[in-house]
A = this chain, B = another copy of it.
């Protein structure tokens, strides 16, 4: 059955597997000190146009969020996020496990606004009892958001300005960053993000890798002895090559961007197809995740022919479902969907 269930249904981009095979018997130093990690870091710094950046590889998104947030926050601080943010809802309390609160603020279609952010922080400091409260110590945004939406350059700039006016780092969760950067509606580039954010990660798991996320600290602000903190959280790989080779491949010859663009093209076709068929969209998403409102019996029927994922109940008779494309989606998948 064809599947648009999510953007991690397939293995890795074939070039990655090819590089695994080619390099397999080389003797490499462990724990990320090998040449492939080194090379991948250099390529990422170049792509970010940020030669001072410090790049580290981790295995998955929740792990990355928990490690970045908990090593950058002070004891008395929490991280501000949209109430729909991945860290607020779907990480099983991974941030709280590190002893820090996620300070939820309302968002719109997954995005937070600079104004409501400023109001939240101002109110905190205006409260006479704020020393009894969790200090705002970081701002988390996801881009694309959990709803497939994107910040504009101007929106991210304003958020960045609010953060920096309070000396709070801005952290961008780029689990699907490629799909954001390659969206036709995006006016944000990777160097823009590196400039506006204090730390962010370039998602691999959902963009061509078997696993892996590349954290980029942009302001010479990598926490001291970060490797020890990573080990302490059980996240240090003995065979760092697993991550180094993947990111080295993804950032060679523009692969990361090209496969992301492909996923966007497939999403556009899927979107057109659904528009033509008269489906209702839950919201307008310019990236690889498309949210459709289905009448429940229609949904049950469709389920028999194609895989997609439940998003949320819309009303008694309707459900929001998600169709995701990815680097692995083929024209054939779209054609088959068209024929359903």
Question: Which residues from chain A sit less than 8 Å from chain B, CB to CB?
Answer: 1-3, 5-6, 8-12, 14, 17, 20-21, 23-31, 59-67, 70-71, 74-76, 78, 89-102, 104, 123, 126-129, 131-135, 205-206, 210-211, 223-225, 227-229, 231-239, 241-242, 307, 309-310, 312-313, 328
Which secondary structure characterizes the binding site on chain A? loop
Instruction: Give CA–CA (A307, B128) in the complex, Å.
Output: 14
Q: When the two chains form their complex, are residues A229 and B133 in contact, meaning their CB atoms are under 8 A apart?
A: no
| Contact residue among B11, B66, B312 (Cβ-Cβ distance under 8 Å from A241) | B11
5 A-B pairs with C-beta separation under 8 A: A11-B23, A60-B234, A63-B235, A210-B239, A234-B235
Residue of A28, A65, A313, A328 with most chain B CB atoms under a 10 A cut-off:
A28
Contact between chains at A232 and B97 (CB < 8 Å): yes
Determine the distance from Cα of A206 to Cα of B127 in the docked complex, in whole angstroms.
22
Flag if A231 contacts B100 (CB, 8 Å). Answer: no
Question: Out of B1, B5, B26, B96, which one reaches A100, CB within 8 Å?
Answer: B96
With CB as the reference atom, state the residue of chain B lying closest to A100: B96
Q: How far is the CA of A310 from the CA of B128 in the complex (A)?
A: 7
Residue of B whose beta carbon sits closest to that of A328: B25
**CB-based contact B11/A92 at 8 Å:** no
Known: A210-B239, A237-B60. A232 touches B94 (CB 8 A): yes
Q: How far is the CA of A208 from the CA of B337 in the complex (A)?
A: 40
